[in-house]
Amino acid sequence: MAVNVAERSAMARALELATRGPRGANPQVGAVILSPEGAILAEGWHHGPGPPHAEVDALSKLAPGAARGATAVVTLEPCNHTGRTGPCAVALIEAGVARVVYALDDPGAVSGGGAERLRAAGVDVEAGEQAAAAHTLIDGWLTAQRLGRPHVTVKWAQSLDGRAAAADGTSQWITGPAARADVHRRRAAADAIAVGTGTVLADDPALTARDGDALLPHQPIPVIIGARATPSDAAVHRHPHPPLFFDTHDLHAVLADLHARGIQSLFVEGGPTLASAFVAAGLADRVLTYIAPVLLGGDRLALTDIGVASIDHARRLVVDEWVPLGPDLLAIAHPADDADPQTEGAR
């Protein structure tokens, strides 16, 4: 049975509700309960570790028996395990829900399998509705589940000829106001933001997410990677969150530590050396390249050595989106793999 208009609208609402939940060790999930006629009966979202999951949160707002014959629209497959709370799949079955529409499969070996359990109980199940939007919402959590580390976005700004700075090292500003505002919005969407000590010493960045001079409601935790000391009066010490310092070049160790702290998404913004290190290590899950229509020449490249000795070893990307930002252009890309049709014949 295909997804109908009411269910499609309810999924858009569930995705909106999911954003009310905190980012952390658990995914952001939203749920909407629809009557057999398609009217909204209840809404819910996951409030964090411990409280009921989104489906149960929504069901709790209904009188006993009110969900019988209803449809549950959820952004993530209802869980199938008992942790701090019971299985959501069982809660839906016991409530008499007749149909479940969800966006993404739960990748957990323990928590997954809710759809199969629902079908075995006679519940009609439809998967994949607005999956791309749901994936974008919780891509950090999904990466953490799959790889045991945060989802890493590597960002840099460059001239049209691939330079990050002029010959004297100046780089403010290569891009214009629209591009810089976009960067701040994306900083605010991340759990943490990383730079190298070289960037701290050269630019003294605040590493905050701002709208003009005002701080945005969510601020990423600042992460400083490198052996050199950060001055006591550096701007990062005035950040709303205490900075995390890593005196190491072992990026895997850094990510493992951040993962243990519940950080799901890391925004890497700190200069060609750090950006190149993440790319070379195969740790860039997404690349954001802001391209300005200027020419700088010289040797201040946006990326340095990333371990490509010949064209056969090029690190190929798939561009997901080109975003015009005033006179500048943003390329949003992810590393290519054999499943990407764009890479066919490219290797």
Q: Cite the active site residues.
A: 55
Instruction: Write the single-letter amino acid at 126.
Output: E
How many other C-beta atoms are found inside a 10 Å radius of the C-beta of residue 275? Answer: 26
How many other C-beta atoms are found inside a 10 Å radius of the C-beta of residue 6? Answer: 17
User: Which one, of 185, 181, 112, lies nearest residue 328 by Cα?
Assistant: 181
Instruction: Write the single-letter amino acid at 250.
Output: D
User: Which one, of 234, 232, 228, 227, lies nearest residue 250 by Cα?
Assistant: 227
Distance separating alpha carbons of residues 207 and 140, to the nearest angstrom? 20
For residue 127, list its beta bridge partners.
102
Distance separating alpha carbons of residues 331 and 267, to the nearest angstrom? 16
Q: 336 Cβ partners below 8 Å, 6+ apart? A: 316, 317, 318, 342, 343, 346
The token duo for 33 is 């309960």
Distance separating alpha carbons of residues 103 and 108, to the nearest angstrom? 15
The greatest distance separating any two alpha carbons of the chain, rounded to the nearest whole angstrom, comes to 72
Is the distance from CB of 145 to CB of 25 less than 8 angstroms?
no
The dihedral built from the CA positions of residue 179, 307, 221 and 223, taken in this order, carries a sign that is negative
